[in-house]
Structure 1
């Protein structure tokens, strides 16, 4: 992953320092020399990664030194570039002076930049000398990387339901039989055997939907909280919003569930249960799932037999069978040799011969079959397939899966995509990862390269599709409007592999209540540039001073260290005690995401974060300072109340604007909001949601100046006489959701002219 660090820094050096920033003109030669040396290193690192993974400890030390030095270079150059950007934004007399002359403080900083770059170049010189002493070729180590394929419409979202047909029917029969008592069916099998896939097919079957009045699905995992599972179930069965449930006590949630389910025939699925007392914990304060003698059921998936037998109700334990040889071949073939490829392959018989042997080696495990099939589908030559067969491990299951994953990882087309895949370890087990969130994190980290004729978001979506094609991620939902992948999950076996690889490389540390501390990598590499805290109960987060990403989930109450080099700050469902005191110093920050967090105040110093691209305050209530709108790099804005539009918008490049729970808009903001949003001419997504008041009908007039807009959601508008003419809507519009108090004139003569429109939700028409 050091190659990623160097390539990221090269973009900073080449783009920021040399091309745009006048401030660095005094050290241009030093910067150019640094750039040449980093480019030489980049070629070496392509080969060094292979040597490091083969166990060469000396190379590992060199790689670590290179990465550290590269990041130091980026930090010093960006710090200088930051001052230039800040000077451009200054107003008045001091602004004019700083733009056209050198302030004493600038000259001092410029001198420091030159000294620091010279120091970094000396360190690089020492690295080159070490490589020469070790007889490592720094100039000829080149590995050709292949590109991302373009057949994204052919991604399969699920493991093919092959071999489970009989078991599917057997489980459905058990769930819909005539027994009136509340009872359970438990599916038991090892990891990767297809438990969740089978349970999902059962859950979605028409017989289940027709038989049960209410169905709910929750994923339990190893680190679960009973109250969170109950709230999730309550949200599903009652349709109430999380905001109204969030403050309820466990007893009240359980009582509400019990009252709602009483007299109804229900099915509750508990997926991926690890602890035998899970059912007891869900019914600890009150019996949440009543037995009304009407045939209600519980479906459990687990790896442990004792979990299946512990539930205090009549239970049918279903041991999932491994796929037989023929069914294994069918699953493998669907991934490795899909029909659209088989039809044009002249030597398909030879591939099928090798493929049957490889499928047999996977011991009937669907996860192994699909991941290996995904890898081989990208390597359609018989030599590659033969090499896999020759290198097959003698031991089974764990070593087999590790070997397949290591080979699939190594085969990913470039170091950018490899980093993107391992980055998935930052999310908790069984977490539903929103692809839009993930893409913004990847871009903030510098993982997504600039490609000709493709924006970074497009490249990132190609990466997600590539991982899905290779069965390294599981697609859980797609966008109706765009067809692209919207949410993904990572199988826990793949996630465990990513965690280990990330720790060993010093790329990312995962800290949770199980590990209790930052893991010490087995290679002896101590420095980690990213930390993910998950369900970790600590008063203060201990982090290395050079941390570039801090990610956290369900942190009860924590104080933050001062992290001046932070690029990513992503925290969900947590309480932050001193956020406003530290965030203003994080001048390198690209992505600030605080979802459902407490005790958060956005300080006016937020305006000092001149590289900030994304701010997401979904579910987090805080007043929004006007200084936010002066940030020149801002692209994606998600806010939750506390927003009052300023008179003007300094920068006009915002692409996403979402405002949820926007109270008092019509009384306080009214036309100021219309005027403010109307300046966002590059907007692609606009979502305004208010529950108490109504948006002004004049909001419909702003779309004419937004030619790139593709998604609109307005909920809800005041009475609307009629829609503006179709020429006032962007012709690129794909999704339009409009909730109005009243729409008086037929909107279809306008909407029928929007040729790209795919999704339409219209509420309030009275004609």
Structure 2
């Protein structure tokens, strides 16, 4: 009734306003004349006045009624608000309680042999937690979007305000109704939960069910203890290495740690070495102990003594079980004091394990040895505190060894004349299956064993290959494999489990970038803030921990040692996807999945444009928090428009490497959005509504065609990461024009949370922009282009305000533009410096940058050799001198200079004709590149001093130099480079950046 009254009053007031306002008077007059054309003009004014008075009276009556209703409604609303607030706070507390239970419940829900009632109960609990999260986010968004119009006495403004208040109350009443329904649902779940016994979580969030992992009858790890020596494949080299560590070397007590992912064969290798006859003869006594997750040190020591005595044919000391802990340790030490002992602790998970065994293992000068097998590299690292440690990181089987093992398992048959050999018609399919095993021995043995029971035809084998995910969950041959791989996930602290599940979001064999992954974790709220650290630093620590736990494989490392690309083993990914599905973590949409529903899932991965759009459109689940697209699919034009309308609680939108070319204006609906990735898309313009994304933290615009940021971007006060540029790989390289940055209206200074900003075209804002940059005191990375000489002082002053700056990239507007940055206090934390501009001399602050790891100079036109000034930079790892950074003829690397330098690049130095490297200089150098140096016609003879050099590259260099090092043409200088493993010649063959050919030079080292 109230809303209807407001609408009536609003309409009448609008007409009243329309008549009274002077600019609409003629229009009103025309309307009257049209109805009564013969009417005298003077009477028109009389009629208009009457109409106006009538509307005035009607409007006042309506407003009076509305005010009365609003007064009554407000009184009722005060009482409602009290109850609403209590209920809202109540379900927030309920959510925390549910999350605590889910820490224990997740493992039980994911257990294949778990009770069905268990699984159902946990599913209901998780759905309730999702609903609570949705209500909280909807209410937060509702509060944020409340409009408070500027106070105005006008009737229209008042009525608009009243209408909005009613709309807000309706929204809040709807949320209140949902809260009541949730409370009722949770009450029912709690009643049903009385028959379930969920225990509290341990402080680290790990499950209390670890005791179930004791090695007992039927344990999937038991098989590793009974493999015959003739069945061991691919361990020859590590076996020899470990045996040397055991029977040779120092007489000091030492610890050998075998580290690797589950199923890699750590126990098999350790047992293989432990049982070797040479090893048996070397030690007086030996003991092999499997360390359960629920072990006590007391039980471990008693078991160890019992096995040591049995191995040495000696009686077990009496009363071990009755001894107190201290006496027991003394007894063990006394027993081992006169012996050369070997103790193997298999499957260690706890980092502090070395501390616990240290005092029981005497350093008796008789060469005692301890072996531990573990999935966690940190266990091995921690042991160094107490022992001399040798770490052996067990590698996956090579392709040949994997094939050998597979054939032994898949084609074993006493009656077959082809035992151990693959039939020709199954070879292609078998190679595909072996590839999926990824060099993991346990997987090869398990899948090979399964296939040995199948008919030897490609149709049966294709079924196994294509349905491997299903088979992993139900086939008796593969269940143990699944359990072994799951152990590492189950052992994770709770805060890392969601991070690990994220690897299932990405497609199979996908190379996952560290920055992309960790930024998604941050946006999702997985990263717990730690004092004194940025979220990026904490997220990177999470990734390192997953790597050290042998769950994540590193594909590429940067020059500074940081992970650049990573991935997970294909079979581990299959396990993750199963868990992901059970936990409603993410729905992965494949081709021809149009009939699938996405249920209550929180994330959605798009691999097919048409079907994915249909499934999303039909879904009733508005609580999706993240959407990802892969495979360069072409999305429907209305795709983004639809998801912005329907999924208003989104936090992550990732369209990297897709054919998106348009961002709709309703993007501003996504109030909760924290991460928007448009990297390598065809987007050219951002809508003005992007200014409404007030929670946005990452806006990735790399390799897009966005040239101007809308002025509304200044509203994004939480924005932390803004990488935006386009690099022109389609043409010839030009240092100043290869990269195109972005222009911005005034207001960049409002983005006070920015930590990374690159690349900004500063000539658009000039000196005013320099002043605004002073406000960005949290910047860690700054990249600016098109800098003019007159900006130098203002830019220097702005940089001095950036106390956290770690990376600085400055490019001049033209080659002859001098940019001399002068600092009273240089950026002391700078790790990366790219300076592409003419400079009169090498700045005296550069040699003072003790944290600098990368220095790139271009267009500097330095006439004096700068090496003497920078040779003592203590942490410099990469040095690039490009495009006449130095215009002299000779570079001289002196003894002791550049103590940590790993990479050196000398490119397009037009006058350089000689490079001198004294012995003892560049002693850590691994990569050395020469490119486009037309006067350097003789290979530097001092390269032979660089003993650690792994790669030497020549690109577009004089023919004389190339021929002088080529043994196929009788090159006279071949001996200078013959010790280098990889020597490569690169030659451009086209106009585009990537049009080139590579030719390796044969050396003695390759």
Normalising by the residue count of structure 2, what TM-score does the alignment of the two structures yield?
0.46
CA contact (8 A) 1:82 1:610 kept: no
CA, structure 1 residues 568+394, in 2 after alignment: closer, same or farther (shift >3 Å)?
closer
Q: CA deviation at 1:410?
A: 0.5
- Counterpart pick for 1:596 among 675, 680, 685: 680
Tell me, yes or no, if structure 1 residue 546 matches structure 2 residue 630: no
Q: CA deviation at 1:621?
A: 1.7
| In structure 2, C-alpha distance between the alignment counterparts of 1:574 and 1:731, rounded to whole Å | 40
Q: What secondary structure does 2:655 align onto?
A: strand
| In structure 1, C-alpha distance between the alignment counterparts of 2:388 and 2:856, rounded to whole Å | 50
CA, structure 1 residues 369+755, in 2 after alignment: closer, same or farther (shift >3 Å)?
farther
Correspondence for 1:269: none
Q: CA deviation at 1:746?
A: 2.1
Q: What secondary structure does 2:137 align onto?
A: helix
CA, structure 1 residues 57+112, in 2 after alignment: closer, same or farther (shift >3 Å)?
farther
Correspondence for 1:379: none
Correspondence for 2:589: 511
Correspondence for 1:77: 136
Q: What secondary structure does 2:859 align onto?
A: strand
Q: CA deviation at 1:469?
A: 0.3
CA contact (8 A) 1:192 1:493 kept: no
| In structure 2, C-alpha distance between the alignment counterparts of 1:609 and 1:473, rounded to whole Å | 33
Matches within 5 A, 1:386-401: 398-401=478-481
Tell me, yes or no, if structure 1 residue 611 matches structure 2 residue 695: yes
Correspondence for 1:43: 100
Tell me, yes or no, if structure 1 residue 402 matches structure 2 residue 490: no
Tell me, yes or no, if structure 1 residue 130 matches structure 2 residue 189: yes
CA, structure 1 residues 459+539, in 2 after alignment: closer, same or farther (shift >3 Å)?
closer
Correspondence for 2:851: 756
| In structure 1, C-alpha distance between the alignment counterparts of 2:474 and 2:593, rounded to whole Å | 34
CA contact (8 A) 2:806 2:832 kept: yes
CA, structure 1 residues 122+704, in 2 after alignment: closer, same or farther (shift >3 Å)?
same
CA contact (8 A) 2:812 2:818 kept: no
613-622 vs 581-590, greater mean Cα deviation = 581-590
CA, structure 1 residues 82+764, in 2 after alignment: closer, same or farther (shift >3 Å)?
same
Tell me, yes or no, if structure 1 residue 487 matches structure 2 residue 565: yes
Correspondence for 1:116: 175
Deviations 1:591-634 (A, max 9, x none): 11112112564211111112111111111223421112212322
Q: CA deviation at 1:682?
A: 1.3
Normalising by the residue count of structure 1, what TM-score does the alignment of the two structures yield?
0.59
CA, structure 1 residues 694+580, in 2 after alignment: closer, same or farther (shift >3 Å)?
farther
CA, structure 1 residues 137+343, in 2 after alignment: closer, same or farther (shift >3 Å)?
same
Larger-gyration structure (1/2): 2
Deviations 1:207-262 (A, max 9, x none): xxxxxxxxxxxxxxxxxxxxxxxxxxxxxxxxxxxxxxxxxxxxxxxxxxxxxxxx
Q: CA deviation at 1:91?
A: 9.3
Q: What secondary structure does 1:637 align onto?
A: strand
Matches within 5 A, 1:715-734: 715-716=811-812, 718=814, 719=816, 721=818, 723-734=820-831
| In structure 1, C-alpha distance between the alignment counterparts of 2:855 and 2:508, rounded to whole Å | 35
CA, structure 1 residues 610+435, in 2 after alignment: closer, same or farther (shift >3 Å)?
same
Tell me, yes or no, if structure 1 residue 575 matches structure 2 residue 659: yes
CA, structure 1 residues 453+133, in 2 after alignment: closer, same or farther (shift >3 Å)?
same
**Alignment coverage as a number of residue pairs:** 525
Q: CA deviation at 1:764?
A: 2.5
Q: CA deviation at 1:465?
A: 0.7
CA, structure 1 residues 111+450, in 2 after alignment: closer, same or farther (shift >3 Å)?
farther
CA, structure 1 residues 432+656, in 2 after alignment: closer, same or farther (shift >3 Å)?
farther
Deviations 1:496-538 (A, max 9, x none): 222232123221112234x644767xxxx93222111236565
Tell me, yes or no, if structure 1 residue 688 matches structure 2 residue 777: no
CA, structure 1 residues 534+133, in 2 after alignment: closer, same or farther (shift >3 Å)?
closer
Correspondence for 1:295: none
Q: CA deviation at 1:338?
A: 6.7
Q: CA deviation at 1:67?
A: 3.3
CA contact (8 A) 1:580 1:601 kept: no
| In structure 1, C-alpha distance between the alignment counterparts of 2:177 and 2:439, rounded to whole Å | 51
Correspondence for 1:628: 713
Q: CA deviation at 1:164?
A: 6.9
Q: CA deviation at 1:453?
A: 4.8
- Counterpart pick for 1:656 among 735, 739, 755: 755
| In structure 2, C-alpha distance between the alignment counterparts of 1:518 and 1:694, rounded to whole Å | 62
| In structure 1, C-alpha distance between the alignment counterparts of 2:187 and 2:828, rounded to whole Å | 56
| In structure 1, C-alpha distance between the alignment counterparts of 2:82 and 2:711, rounded to whole Å | 33
Q: CA deviation at 1:699?
A: 3.7
| In structure 1, C-alpha distance between the alignment counterparts of 2:193 and 2:374, rounded to whole Å | 46
Q: CA deviation at 1:472?
A: 1.2
| In structure 2, C-alpha distance between the alignment counterparts of 1:539 and 1:490, rounded to whole Å | 25
| In structure 2, C-alpha distance between the alignment counterparts of 1:422 and 1:731, rounded to whole Å | 39
648-657 vs 464-473, greater mean Cα deviation = 648-657
Matches within 5 A, 1:84-483: 84-86=143-145, 105-106=164-165, 108-109=167-168, 112-113=171-172, 116-117=175-176, 119-136=178-195, 141-146=199-204, 340-342=381-383, 368=440, 398-414=478-494, 416-480=495-559, 483=561
| In structure 1, C-alpha distance between the alignment counterparts of 2:852 and 2:529, rounded to whole Å | 29
Q: What secondary structure does 1:743 align onto?
A: coil
Q: What secondary structure does 2:526 align onto?
A: coil
Deviations 1:456-513 (A, max 9, x none): 33321121011100121112344545x4433322222222222232123221112234
Q: CA deviation at 1:549?
A: 0.7
CA contact (8 A) 2:757 2:779 kept: no
CA contact (8 A) 2:523 2:651 kept: yes
Deviations 1:329-357 (A, max 9, x none): 999679669764555679999x99xxxxx
Q: CA deviation at 1:728?
A: 4.0
| In structure 2, C-alpha distance between the alignment counterparts of 1:619 and 1:110, rounded to whole Å | 45
Q: CA deviation at 1:394?
A: 14
* Cα root mean square deviation, aligned: 4.5
Q: What secondary structure does 1:607 align onto?
A: helix
Q: Where in structure 2 are there 5+ consecutive unaligned residues? A: 1-79, 207-233, 240-261, 266-369, 393-404, 407-436, 444-472, 726-739, 863-1006
Tell me, yes or no, if structure 1 residue 67 matches structure 2 residue 126: yes
Q: CA deviation at 1:430?
A: 2.5
Q: What secondary structure does 2:835 align onto?
A: strand
CA, structure 1 residues 192+557, in 2 after alignment: closer, same or farther (shift >3 Å)?
farther
CA contact (8 A) 2:807 2:830 kept: yes
| In structure 2, C-alpha distance between the alignment counterparts of 1:347 and 1:693, rounded to whole Å | 58
CA, structure 1 residues 706+428, in 2 after alignment: closer, same or farther (shift >3 Å)?
same
Deviations 1:275-334 (A, max 9, x none): xxxxxxxxxxxxxxxxxxxxxxxxxxxxxxxxxxxxxxxxxxxxxxxxxxxxxx999679
Q: CA deviation at 1:408?
A: 0.7
CA contact (8 A) 1:685 1:711 kept: yes
Correspondence for 1:253: none
| In structure 2, C-alpha distance between the alignment counterparts of 1:722 and 1:473, rounded to whole Å | 44
Deviations 1:711-744 (A, max 9, x none): 112244555656434434322212111111x111
Q: CA deviation at 1:568?
A: 0.7
CA contact (8 A) 1:468 1:474 kept: yes
| In structure 1, C-alpha distance between the alignment counterparts of 2:474 and 2:84, rounded to whole Å | 58
CA, structure 1 residues 695+144, in 2 after alignment: closer, same or farther (shift >3 Å)?
farther
